[in-house]
């Protein structure tokens, strides 16, 4: 499916089939979750990243059903490039109303970057100035988990992590997504 | 021939426990040295801000609905303190130096702000408003209309709102309920906002 068609689908669904909520509600709720995790784990940021990823994973497992129902695409993506376009132009579009750019493909087409021009989660946010958060905390790490969880449910094992974040003073917010393998539908053990 | 127009000398934010949350000091133009230096030292500014708390207290009994307290007190022939209070008890004070900035009488040249970086970006808006400033403040010490200070407080308040939206900023830490004291604001973004507001304002500026 062409990228432009994916954009059209995303736009269409966003306009007609999505219930909207106040953006600040989302931003502040997510912010509270991250801040609370930081407090609970006593500023152990790698652990906070892990927790966010885990929460995202559990969201992704469920969200994919919603995505499939709303996007109404019964057809499977024919390759990973198409998957990437659908993630950006339909998935992110209908849930967050953003379309991160898909770039930096590796030659084997198994790994790409999502570059976020805007990130509704990170509005207003300033990372704690304790000398470690700037290096260690990936504020929007929940998104990595969401992608991992959602793609796993459609037989794709991926690895996702952020490699830069404007909150840390980088120029862009960039997430790296790598396909590890397609999970074959496992057959039940044969009866002898 | 050059004339002097008002500029911001100090911006202060005071918490609901009468604790200092933030103080920004801006250099004023000193004609004898032809340089920009703060007109008072930080301790003196801190004292001036503390002294406004009494005025806030006194006035709050007959408080205005808008939270705008206008002129709190005129300190001397150069300095005047203006105030604003939010419903949550956070007070913002703007100390204006009536002769803090120099304009060429010809109208074109405006002496830039003391600190270079922000000076360049605000120069165009400053020179545009300089003409308005001169007409609105005919002579030095004629005083400012409250409406001319309003943009400062509006900008300070929106900067404060942005600060509160940051999930890592804990308002309780900065003004514990019923308690005393509280920590100062350390946010760099908020500090930068204050710097921008203080350097850009001059009478006649409507948006900051």
The model scores a pTM over 0.90: no
- Chain B contact residues (CB < 8 Å to A): 162, 165-170, 186-189
Query: Which of B101-115, B135-149, B168-182 is most confident?
Result: B168-182
CB-nearest to B187 from A27, A32, A126 is A126
Q: Do A32 and B167 touch (CB under 8 A)?
A: yes
Q: Do B167 and A127 touch (CB under 8 A)?
A: no
Residue A189 lies inside a defined structural domain of this protein: no
Query: Which of A162-166, B66-70, B102-106, B122-126 is most confident?
Result: A162-166
Shortest CA distance from A24: residue in chain B: B165
As given in the structure block, the two tokens for residue B13 are: 């934010």
At residue B118 the predicted structure's pLDDT band, cuts being 50, 70 and 90, is: very low
The 10 Å Cβ neighbour count of residue A46 is 12
pLDDT in tens, A10-69: 999 999 988 999 999 999 999 999 999 999 999 999 999 999 999 999 999 999 999 999
pLDDT at B122 over 60: no
Looking at per-residue pLDDT, the higher value among A101 and B124 belongs to: A101
Shortest CA distance from A31: residue in chain B: B167
Q: Which residues in chain A have their CB less than 8 angstroms from residue B166's CB?
A: 31, 124-126
Alpha carbon of B188: minimum distance to chain A alpha carbons (Å): 9
Residue A39 lies inside a defined structural domain of this protein: yes
pLDDT in tens, B86-117: 888 899 999 999 988 888 755 444 444 444 33
The CATH number given to whatever domain includes residue A170 is: 3.30.1380.20
CB-nearest to A124 from B162, B170, B186 is B162
Percentage with pLDDT > 70 across chain A:
96
Q: Which residues in chain B have their CB less than 8 angstroms from residue A28's CB?
A: 165, 167
DSSP readout, chain A? --HHHHHHHHHHHHHHT-----HHHHHHHHHHHHHHHHHHTTT-HHHHHHHHHHHHHHHHHHHHHHHHHHH---SPPSSHHHHHHHIIIIIIHHHHS---EEE---TTSSEEEEEES--GGGTT-----SSSHHHH--TTTHHHHHHHHHHHHTTEEEEEEEEE-GGGT-SSEEEEEEEEEEPPPPPPPPP-
CB-nearest to A35 from B168, B187, B189 is B168
Distance CA A26, CA A33 (A): 11
Alpha carbon of A134: minimum distance to chain B alpha carbons (Å): 13
Best of B167, B188, B189, B192 to disrupt the A interface (most A CBs within 10 Å) is B167
Residues of A numbered 22-61 whose beta carbons fall under 8 angstroms of chain B's beta carbons: which are they?
24, 27-28, 30-32, 34-35, 38
Q: Which residues in chain B have their CB less than 8 angstroms from residue A124's CB?
A: 162, 165-167
Looking at A124-138, B18-32, B132-146, which range is the least confident one?
A: B132-146
Residues β-bridged to residue B37: B28
Strands B91-104 and A111-116, sheet pairing:
unpaired
Which one, of A25, A123, A170, A167, lies nearest residue B162 by Cα? A123
Distance CA B47, CA A84 (A): 60
Residue A63 lies inside a defined structural domain of this protein: yes
Q: How many CB pairs under 8 A join A and B?
A: 34
Residue A162 lies inside a defined structural domain of this protein: yes
pLDDT in tens, B33-49: 888 889 889 999 999 99
Alpha carbon of B14: minimum distance to chain A alpha carbons (Å): 22
Residue A188 lies inside a defined structural domain of this protein: no
As given in the structure block, the two tokens for residue A89 are: 């132009």
As given in the structure block, the two tokens for residue A190 are: 């044969």
End-to-end CA distance of chain A: 43
pLDDT of residue B64: 64
Alpha carbon of A100: minimum distance to chain B alpha carbons (Å): 23
Residue A190 lies inside a defined structural domain of this protein: no
Q: Do B166 and A125 touch (CB under 8 A)?
A: yes
**Inter-residue contact B1 to B31 (CB < 8 Å):** no
**Inter-residue contact A183 to A156 (CB < 8 Å):** yes
Distance CA B118, CA B102 (A): 17
Q: Which listed CATH number (3.60.60.10, 3.30.420.40, 3.40.50.300, 3.30.450.70) goes with B2-200?
A: 3.30.450.70
Residues of A numbered 79-138 whose beta carbons fall under 8 angstroms of chain B's beta carbons: which are they?
123-129
Strands B35-37 and B28-30, sheet pairing:
antiparallel
Residue A192 lies inside a defined structural domain of this protein: no
Distance CA B13, CA B145 (A): 21
Looking at A75-79, B77-81, B116-120, which range is the least confident one?
A: B116-120
pLDDT of residue B105: 59
pLDDT of residue B1: 53
Q: How many domains does chain A have?
A: 1
């Amino acid at each position: 499916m062409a990228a432009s068609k994916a954009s059209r689908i995303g736009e269409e669904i966003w306009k007609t089939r999505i219930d909207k909520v106040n953006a600040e509600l989302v931003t502040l709720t997510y912010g509270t979750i991250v801040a609370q995790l930081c407090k609970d784990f006593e500023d152990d940021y790698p652990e906070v990243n892990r927790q966010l990823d885990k929460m995202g994973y559990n969201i992704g497992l469920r969200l994919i059903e919603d995505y499939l129902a709303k996007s109404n695409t019964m057809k499977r993506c024919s390759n990973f490039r198409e998957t990437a376009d659908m993630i950006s132009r339909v998935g992110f579009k209908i849930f967050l109303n953003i379309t991160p750019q898909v770039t930096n493909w590796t030659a084997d087409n198994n790994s790409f970057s999502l570059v976020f021009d805007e990130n509704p989660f990170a509005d207003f946010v300033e990372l704690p100035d304790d000398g470690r958060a700037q290096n260690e905390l990936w504020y929007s790490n929940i998104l990595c988990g969401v992608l991992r969880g959602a793609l796993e449910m459609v037989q794709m094992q991926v690895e996702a992590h952020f490699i830069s974040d404007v909150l840390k003073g980088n120029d862009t917010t960039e997430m790296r997504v790598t396909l590890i393998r397609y999970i074959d539908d496992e057959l039940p053990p044969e009866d002898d | 021939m050059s004339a002097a127009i008002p500029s911001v000398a100090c911006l202060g934010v005071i918490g609901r426990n009468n604790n200092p949350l933030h103080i920004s000091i801006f250099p004023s133009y000193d004609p004898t040295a032809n340089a920009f230096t703060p007109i008072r030292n930080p301790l003196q500014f801190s004292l001036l801000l503390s002294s406004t708390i009494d005025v806030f207290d006194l006035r709050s009994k007959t408080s205005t609905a808008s939270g705008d307290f206008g002129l709190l007190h005129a300190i001397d022939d150069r300095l005047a303190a203006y105030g604003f209070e939010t419903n949550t008890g956070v007070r913002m004070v703007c100390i204006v130096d009536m002769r803090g900035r120099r304009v060429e009488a010809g109208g074109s040249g405006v002496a830039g702000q003391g600190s270079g970086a922000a000076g360049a970006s605000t120069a165009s808006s400053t020179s545009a408003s300089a003409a308005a400033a001169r007409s609105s403040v005919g002579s030095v010490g004629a005083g400012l209309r409250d409406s001319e200070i309003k943009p400062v407080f509006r900008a300070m308040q929106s900067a404060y709102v942005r600060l509160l939206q940051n999930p890592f900023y804990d308002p309780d830490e900065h003004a514990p309920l019923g308690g005393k004291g509280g920590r100062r604001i350390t946010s760099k973004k908020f500090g930068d906002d204050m710097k921008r507001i203080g350097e850009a304002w001059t009478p006649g500026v409507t948006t900051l």
